[in-house]
């Protein structure tokens, strides 16, 4: 087996390849284009396209595609081959700069939320030179943004790139005002930890709910769930270990910095964490990671479940968005260093994040709002739907001291704590306790933990970047005009703590007391997607996004529409699946079992043996079956009524308020039936099989 260092990035048209294959001048122009986030001069696109094509063909590629992320949540591709006919009946392999820079997929079936009138239904894709092209399935994939003809964003990448520009602009002002004069560019960085479940493919194929919805709609808990926690960091099962090994290899070839693979809290649940990188690349890589998780699993007779809540009563899956910002000279804004109380950039950034998160709790909640994630937020282990920040005691004390004008001795505090002269930097202290915080400071970054496992990380980072950019722009103005920068920094910290202290919470975020306390503090608690989404359209939010050129009003309206539409669609499919499962499998199974019990009861009666057990079972199951039968027809009616609704928001509300509730009722009866029925009568593999047979 080849060494990893020999095949890492082998399928990526990365910097080394560009340097080797492009004329020096072209390379330099492209490089500075990428580094400074400028748009590419079209005159050099032809040269780059040709080099890309030659490289791709040598690696066996025959096609190219503009690889983009429409608002469906997955990636889209339209493959074109390189071939072009010649006059003499032969072909040449061609790829022009024009084809590299711009594509026109037939995009009429991608959601646009009304942004793209049908007469201009095509939309176009535009090359993002800051994310490297790569080869996958014999196809040269070119990361692109996807817009309408009038330039409105129809995808995840466009607003993400805009938000990176927005924060860069303001962050540059901040660092310059603080005396970092050599900085040319700042970049937000992200390391997304990705959770997922694996399941045996044969068992998966027997569950229509998993196949159509990605989650189980019924299923009673096995005697053993996750209470033993013996799976967490346990030894990997051979089949899983093999899956992880191959996944790592595939990702490494694509230059994805897959770093840590381990078990998670629930049985059959695992996590992959990459080394952090620039945000738009991290977002692209996370999409690739999810795609390859599914693909590699299938090749091993497994299925990878990315749904946020595949099983009731077991931890769901999320993503942790580790976020920071650093300069092109290598300074991490959130690295505290040895004297955090005197580290101006650190203090300013910390304050900016605290202020931004407090002011824009709604945006963070909106960023993670999906039908799947609604099952998880507030559930077991996962963060509640309330946003708060964990800083740890040391940092909180330090900020309090600064805000009260008390001198904070970094040294003394640390010495007292550890009884030594060695001064450790701020660490992610109380790492166990802070697992309950949705937004935690963990060393040199903030970790937002509310994301759902299936979503793109783009939305979250669009919000984070924009809201921090906005606070930075206010701070920058103050610092630029300050006569004494150091005392202005302290004044900013002071005001931030005075005004936004309520968002800081170092305690147990899962406790009931916190919900009560959070309400007293006036923090938002938005339990579902339909509660959260409409807030994106408030005048304040529209103004924020327009101010920083991230979204315009039309884009915001269309996004809200698409997300709510999607929400309703998902629950619609779930309801239809449940109706089908009940009508065709569960009801007949219960009937069949009860009739065999009736037969047994009858036989016993004939020979004069006690048949009370059979009679009782028949009575209980018949009652459950009757409920299931009548609830199923109620569900059918409710779905029909919701589908008649022409207003997207109203429709989503019907799904949330009525349909999910009826589905939960059906589940209750189905699960109680399952718990007393023999295996050979129950139509589906049990939770026990799904979770432990791998």
Q: How far apart, in whole angstroms, are the C-alpha atoms of residue 509 and residue 288?
A: 32
Of these, 163, 444, 453, 473, which contacts ligand ADP (CB under 6 A)?
A: 444
What would the x/- binding string for Mg ion be over residues 147 to 186, using CB under 5 A? Answer: ----------------------------------------
Quote the distance between the C-alpha of residue 622 and its chain's center.
43
The verdict on 270 binding Mg ion (CB under 5 A) reads: no
Contact between 460 and ligand ADP by CB under 6 A: the answer reads no
Task: Examine residue 438 and tell whether it contacts ligand ADP (CB under 6 A).
Answer: no
449 binds ligand ADP (CB under 6 A): no
CB of 447 to ligand ADP, least distance (A): 6
Neighbours of 482 (CB within 10 A): 15
Cα–Cα distance for residue pair 692/199, rounded to 1 Å = 9
Instruction: Give the C-alpha separation, 503 to 439, whole Å.
Output: 10
Task: Name the minimum Å distance from CB 435 to Mg ion.
Answer: 8
Q: Tell me if 461 contacts ligand ADP by CB under 6 A.
A: no
Of 4, 275, 406, 619, the one binding ligand ADP (CB under 6 A) is 275
Nearest approach, Cβ of residue 477 and ligand ADP (Å): 26
DSSP string, 230-270: -STT-PPPHHHHHHHHHHHHHHHHTT--EEEEEE-SSTTEE
Report 487-526 residues binding Mg ion (CB under 5 A). none
Q: Are 212 and 573 in contact (CB under 8 A)?
A: yes
Shortest distance in whole angstroms from residue 65 CB to ligand ADP? 28
* Minimum distance of Mg ion from residue 168's CB (angstroms): 26
d(CA 8, CA 2): 10
First to last CA, the chain: 27
Q: Of the candidates 390, 356, 681, 683, which has an alpha carbon nearest to the alpha carbon of residue 541? A: 356
In eight-state DSSP terms, residue 452 is E
Among 66, 285, 319, 320, binds Mg ion (CB under 5 A): 320
Percent of the chain as helix, strand, coil, to the nearest 5: 50, 15, 35
> According to CB under 6 A, which one of 274, 384, 438, 509 is a site residue for ligand ADP?
274
CA distances to 11, 229, 340, 475 from 406, in Å: 56, 44, 15, 22
The whole-angstrom distance between residue 588's C-alpha and the CA centroid of its chain comes to: 39
Region 326-345 residues binding ligand ADP, contact defined as CB under 6 A? 332
Judged by CB under 5 A, the stretch of 313-321, 340-348, 388-396, 406-414 that binds Mg ion is 313-321
Nearer to Mg ion, 309 or 320 (CB): 320
Give the one residue of 27, 252, 276, 567 binding ligand ADP; rule: CB under 6 A.
276
Shortest distance, position 444 Cβ to ligand ADP, whole Å: 5
Give the residue from 177, 133, 125 showing the smallest Cα distance to 154: 125
Residues 6+ apart with CB under 8 A from 549: 162, 165, 166
Interface region with ligand ADP, contact rule CB under 6 A, candidates 437-445, 451-459, 590-598, 681-689: 437-445
Candidates 27-35, 186-194, 208-216, 572-580: pick the segment binding ligand ADP (CB under 6 A): 186-194
Answer with the entry of ligand ADP, Mg ion, none that 317 interacts with (C-beta below 5 to 8 A by kind).
none
Asked if 215 interacts with Mg ion (CB under 5 A), we say no
- Cα separations in angstroms, 490 against 44, 342, 407, 468, 480: 48, 9, 11, 18, 15
Let me know: does 232 contact 263? Beta carbons within 8 Å.
Answer: yes
Shortest gap between Cβ of 274 and ligand ADP (angstroms)? 5
DSSP character string of 549-560: TS--HHHHHHHH
DSSP state, residue 224: -
We find the least distance from the C-beta atom of residue 460 to ligand ADP, in angstroms, to be: 13
**Pick 275 or 486: Cβ nearer ligand ADP:** 275
Residue 14, interface with ligand ADP (CB under 6 A)?
no
Binding site for Mg ion (CB under 5 A): 193, 320
Binding site for ligand ADP (CB under 6 A): 189-191, 193, 273-276, 322-324, 332, 442, 444-445
């Amino acid at each position: 087996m080849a060494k990893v260092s020999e095949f890492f990035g082998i399928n990526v048209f990365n910097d080394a390849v560009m340097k080797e294959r492009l004329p020096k001048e072209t390379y330099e122009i492209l490089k500075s284009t990428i580094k400074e986030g400028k748009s590419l001069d079209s005159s050099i696109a032809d040269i780059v396209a040709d080099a890309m094509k030659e490289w791709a063909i040598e690696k066996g590629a025959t096609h190219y595609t503009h690889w983009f992320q429409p608002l469906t949540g997955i990636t889209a591709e339209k493959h074109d081959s390189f071939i072009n006919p010649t006059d003499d009946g032969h072909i040449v392999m061609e790829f022009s700069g024009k084809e590299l820079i711009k594509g026109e997929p037939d995009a009429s079936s991608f959601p646009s939320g009304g942004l793209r009138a049908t007469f201009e239904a095509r939309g176009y894709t535009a090359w993002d030179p800051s994310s490297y092209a790569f080869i996958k399935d014999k196809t040269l994939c070119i990361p692109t943004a996807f817009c309408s003809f009038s330039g409105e964003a129809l995808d995840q990448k466009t607003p993400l790139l805009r938000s990176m520009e927005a924060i860069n602009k303001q962050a540059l002002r901040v660092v310059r005002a603080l005396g970092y004069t050599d900085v040319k560019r700042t970049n937000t960085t992200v390391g997304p930890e990705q959770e997922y479940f694996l399941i045996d493919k044969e068992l998966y194929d027997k569950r229509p709910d998993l196949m159509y919805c990605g989650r189980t709609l019924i299923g009673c808990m096995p005697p053993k769930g996750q209470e033993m926690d013996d799976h967490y960091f346990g030894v990997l099962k051979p089949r899983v270990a093999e899956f992880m090994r191959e996944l790592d290899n595939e990702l490494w070839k694509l230059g994805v910095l897959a770093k840590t693979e381990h078990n998670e809290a629930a049985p059959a649940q695992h996590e992959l964490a990459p080394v952090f990188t620039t945000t738009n690349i991290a977002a692209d890589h996370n999409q690739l990671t999810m795609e390859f998780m599914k693909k590699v699993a299938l090749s091993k007779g497994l299925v990878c479940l990315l749904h946020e809540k595949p099983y009731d009563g077991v931890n769901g899956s999320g993503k942790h968005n580790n976020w920071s910002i650093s300069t092109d000279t290598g300074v991490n804004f959130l690295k505290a260093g040895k004297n955090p109380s005197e580290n101006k950039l650190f203090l300013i950034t910390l304050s900016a994040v605290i202020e931004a998160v407090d002011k824009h709790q709604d945006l963070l909640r909106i960023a993670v709002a999906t039908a799947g994630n609604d099952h998880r937020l507030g559930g077991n282990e996962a963060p509640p739907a309330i946003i708060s920040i964990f800083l740890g005691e040391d940092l909180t004390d330090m900020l309090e001291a600064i805000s009260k004008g008390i001198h904070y001795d970094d040294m003394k505090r640390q010495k007292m704590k550890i009884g030594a002269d060695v001064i450790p930097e701020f660490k992610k202290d109380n790492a166990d306790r802070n697992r309950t915080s949705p937004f935690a400071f963990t060393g040199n970054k903030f970790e937002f933990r509310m994301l759902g496992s299936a979503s793109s990380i783009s939305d979250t980072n669009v919000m984070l970047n924009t809201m921090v950019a906005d606070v930075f722009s206010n701070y920058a103005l103050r610092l630029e005009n300050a006569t004494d920068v150091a005392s202005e920094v302290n004044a900013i910290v002071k005001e931030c703590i005075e005004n936004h202290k309520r968002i800081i919470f170092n305690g147990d975020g899962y406790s009931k007391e916190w919900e009560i306390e959070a309400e007293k503090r006036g923090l938002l608690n938005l339990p579902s997607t339909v509660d959260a989404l409409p807030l994106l359209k408030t005048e304040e939010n529209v103004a924020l996004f327009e101010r920083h050129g991230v979204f315009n009003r039309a884009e915001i309206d269309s996004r809200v529409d698409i997300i709510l539409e999607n929400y309703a669609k998902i629950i619609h499919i779930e309801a239809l699946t449940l109706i089908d499962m009940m009508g065709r499998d569960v009801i007949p199974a219960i009937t069949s079992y009860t009739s065999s019990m009736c037969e047994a009861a009858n036989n016993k009666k004939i020979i004069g043996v006690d048949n009370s057990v059979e009679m009782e079972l028949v009575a209980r199951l018949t009652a459950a079956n009757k409920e299931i039968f009548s609830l199923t027809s109620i569900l059918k009616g409710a779905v029909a009524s919701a589908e008649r609704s022409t207003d997207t928001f109203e429709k989503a509300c019907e799904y949330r308020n009525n349909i999910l509730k009826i589905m939960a009722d059906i589940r209750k009866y189905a699960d109680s039936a399952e718990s007393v029925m023999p295996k050979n009568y129950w139509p589906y593999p049990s939770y026990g099989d799904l979770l432990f047979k791998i």
